[in-house]
Amino acid sequence: MAVLIKNGTLITAADTFEADILVEGESISQIGKNLQHPNAEVFDATGKFITPGGVDPHVHLDLPMFDTVSSDDHYTGHKAAAFGGTTTALDFVVLENEGFQHSVDTWMKKAEKAAIDYSFHMNLTQFNEKIAAEIPSLMEMGIQTLKVFTAYNGRLRLDDGSIFKAMQIAKDNGMLVMAHCENGDVIETLTQQALADGHTSPIWHAWTRPSWGAVDAALRIAGMAADADASVYIVHMNTAGEVDMLKYARERGVKVMGETCPQYLFFTEDMLERDDGAKWICSPPIRTEADTARLWQGLREGALQTIGTDHCPFFFDGTQPILYEGKEIAIAGKEMGKYNFTKIPNGLPGIQDRLPILWTYGVQTGQISANQFVAYTSTNPAKIFGLYPQKGALVPGADADLVIWDPEKRFKYGRAHSHQRTDYNLYEGWDVAGYPEKVFLRGKLIVAGEEWLGKRGDGKFIKRKEGEIL
Ligand code: URP
Ligand code: ZN
Ligand code: ZN
C-alpha cells in the first residue's frame, strides 16, 4: 500500500517548505519534489499544511477518580484525539498494591481498544525497597517515565526522600521523573479551614491550592534533580513563578523541563465563579492573567518544552445521558461535588481541542510560531519521551502519522464538533480558523473531514527508549 501526498506545505519543528510525501507501508519513504509512484493513492494537498501527528504527552483515559471514572476511555479518547490531529497519546498507569507488572497489565487490557498509538507513564505513588528494586523493570516494558506527586496527601504523594531516591534510580536507568508540583500540606490545611468555614463552591478549589505552593514545589523538585544529577519534567505548569523557577534552574544547568496545557493559557480562575464553574476544576487550578501571560512568554522564549492536555474529562451533569456513537451514555461527573468542591472530580476535556485551538489562538495570534507549535505539541514530546524519530518527525523512516490541515476552514467550535465523550466543551462558541482535514495513522487514513475511518484496536503500544533532555 502506498500513499502519495502532493504539493503540501510541510511544517516541522525547524522548517516550513513545500514538498510531496510518499508513504510506503506504515512509514514515510520519501520527501521531495515531484515524487512519483506507479500505484500510490494520490492526495492533492495544494494550499494545505502538513504536520506530524500530534503527540499528547499527558492524558488520563479510563482513570478511576473518587466514585467515578474519567469519561473517555482508550477508544473514545483516542478517536477524539485523532479528529483533532493527535495520533499518539501517553497516559498514566495507576500503581496497584500488586506491583508494576500487574498494574501495567491492567492498563494494557484497558488499552486493547486503542484507536491511535499509545504508551504509558507509571504513577509512582508508593515507595519502599521492593518497589525501588523493581523500577528498572519498567524500562524493559518500554515505560521510561515515573510520575511523582508533591500533593494529594495520604493518596498519591511521596515524601521528598522517596522522590529523591526515585530520581537517583531513574538517573541510573535512563529514565525520567515527571513531577506534579503543588504544596500538599498547605492544600490540606487550607481545605480543612475552608470547609470548616462553610466554603463549598468551586472557586474554593483554586483558593485552597495557592500558586506559591506550585512555585515552591517546582523549585524543590528542580533542586532535588540537581542533587541527584537526574532529569525531571514538571507537568501541567500553571503559574508565572513556576516558569521563573524553571528558567532559574535551567540557566544553572539543571536538567529540568516543563509542560503547560491549553487550559492554563486560555482561562483564568474567574471561570470557577460561574454557575457552571465546576467545568473548569482541575488540579492544579487555572490561575490569573499574569500567569497566562508568563506561560505564553515562556513558550515564546523556549523556557517551556511541551504543551500537553492533561485530558481528564468528566461530565458536568452525569445524571443526564448524551448520545455517543448512537447510544445513550451517562457517567457520574462534576455534579458529585455540587455541595462540596472537594468532591468534584478534578480534570478537563481537551485531547481533541489542543491542536486546533492552539493553531487559531496561539499561532494565528502570533504568540508562538508555526514551527514552535509543532515542536511543543509533537516533536519535543516525542524526543523527551523516547519516541523520536518514529513519532513527531516528517522524515523518511518515521511512522506516517500525518495531519493535512485546511487553513481556510472556519467555524464555531464546540461540543457539536467534538468527539470527546462528555457533555461540554471548554471552547464552546470559539471561532476556529484552520482545522485537520485528513489524519493518517501509520499510513492509514483514519479521519477524512467529519468521517471516522479509524478502528478500535488499531492503536499500537509503543515501547519507549531513553528520551532526550531538551
Ligand atoms: O485535574 C487533573 N489534572 N486531574 C488529573 C490528575 C493530575 O494530577 O494530572
Ligand atoms: Zn498531576
Ligand atoms: Zn494529569
For the segment 354-401, what is each residue's pLDDT rounded down to a tens digit? 999 999 999 999 999 999 999 999 999 999 999 999 999 999 999 999
Ligand nearest to the CA of 58: 3
* Ligand 1, atom 9: closest residue by C-alpha: 310
Question: Has residue 229 got a pLDDT over 90?
Answer: yes
Model-wide pTM > 0.95: yes
What per-residue confidence (pLDDT) applies to 334?
98
Local confidence band at 242 (pLDDT 50, 70, 90 cut-offs): very high
What per-residue confidence (pLDDT) applies to 248?
98
* Ligand 1, atom 7: closest residue by C-alpha: 283
For the segment 303-317, what is each residue's pLDDT rounded down to a tens digit? 999 999 999 999 999
Contact (Cβ atoms closer than 8 angstroms) between residue 445 and residue 104: no
Question: Has residue 84 got a pLDDT over 90?
Answer: yes
Give the pLDDT mean for 234-246: 98
Which amino acid is it at 271? M
Question: 289: how many CB neighbours lie within 10 A of its CB?
Answer: 10
What per-residue confidence (pLDDT) applies to 1?
84
What per-residue confidence (pLDDT) applies to 437?
98
**Residue to mutate (ligand 1; options 145, 153, 157, 346; most atoms within 8 A of CB):** 346
Give the pLDDT mean for 250-254: 98
Domains and their CATH numbers in the chain: 2-51+393-421+430-452 (2.30.40.10), 53-384 (3.20.20.140)
Give the pLDDT mean for 39-55: 98
Q: Which atom of ligand 1 is the closest one to the Cα of 156?
A: 8
Pairing of strands 86-93, 41-44: unpaired
Distances (CA, A) of 88 to 27, 84, 379, 440: 15, 12, 11, 11
Residue at grid coordinates 504508551: 119
Distance 149 CA to ligand 1 centre (A): 10
What per-residue confidence (pLDDT) applies to 275?
97
Q: What is the mean pLDDT of the chain?
A: 98
Query: Distance between alpha carbon 38 and the CA centroid of its chain, in Å?
Result: 39
Whether ligand 1 lies within 6 angstroms of the CB of 282 is answered as yes
Give the pLDDT mean for 410-425: 97
Q: Which atom of ligand 1 is the closest one to the Cα of 58?
A: 9
User: What span, in angstroms and rounded, lies between the C-alpha atoms of 379 and 381?
Assistant: 6
What per-residue confidence (pLDDT) applies to 180?
98
Ligand nearest to the CA of 283: 1
* Peptide bond preceding 389 in cis form (omega within 30 of 0): yes
Give the pLDDT mean for 259-283: 98
For the segment 98-141, what is each residue's pLDDT rounded down to a tens digit? 999 999 999 999 999 999 999 999 999 999 999 999 999 999 99
Local confidence band at 442 (pLDDT 50, 70, 90 cut-offs): very high
Cell readout for 81 is 484525539
| Share above pLDDT 90 across residues of the chain, in percent, rounded to a whole number | 100
Whether ligand 1 lies within 6 angstroms of the CB of 284 is answered as no
What per-residue confidence (pLDDT) applies to 114?
98
The backbone torsions φ and ψ at residue 195, rounded to the nearest 5 degrees and listed phi first, read: -65, -40
Element (H, E) at 329: strand 327-329
Assign 129 to helix, strand or coil.
helix
For the segment 312-341, what is each residue's pLDDT rounded down to a tens digit? 999 999 999 999 999 999 999 999 999 999
The backbone torsions φ and ψ at residue 327, rounded to the nearest 5 degrees and listed phi first, read: -120, 145
User: What span, in angstroms and rounded, lies between the C-alpha atoms of 408 and 410?
Assistant: 6
Q: Which atom of ligand 1 is the closest one to the Cα of 347?
A: 1
